[in-house]
Amino acid sequence: MGDCVDGLKIKRTQDSHNDDEICEGCMMGKSTVKTFPKSIHGMVKTKEELEIIHSDVMALMETKYQGGSRFVVTFIDDFSRDIVAYYISNKSEVIDRFVEHKALMENQL
């Protein structure tokens, strides 16, 4: 360990470990988490539109949009992968926009 960097003197303390030992902090820092599947399609197969709808609420930047909207809610149909976005002023409007979106999609089927 002493020769890892030129020009840097490392002083050992009583708590120093041997070069062969790995401290708990180093082990935790190098730990990895099992990755998620790249697509939900590998686990769940939807057979028709509106079976599964994914949604997300995003805060916009400092600028307000369309009638003072500060957020955007998106709905993604798992089967068709169609994406629809709605501008909303408050997060409390998400349920209303979902009901509106669902009715619109059902009318198009």
Domain ranges within the chain, ordered by starting residue: 40-108
Residue-by-residue pLDDT tens, the chain, 109 positions: 445 556 656 566 666 556 556 666 666 666 666 665 665 556 677 899 999 999 999 987 677 666 778 899 999 999 999 999 999 989 999 999 999 999 999 998 8
Contact assessment for residue 101 and residue 86, using Cβ atoms and an 8 Å cutoff: yes
The terminus-to-terminus CA distance of the chain in angstroms comes to: 67
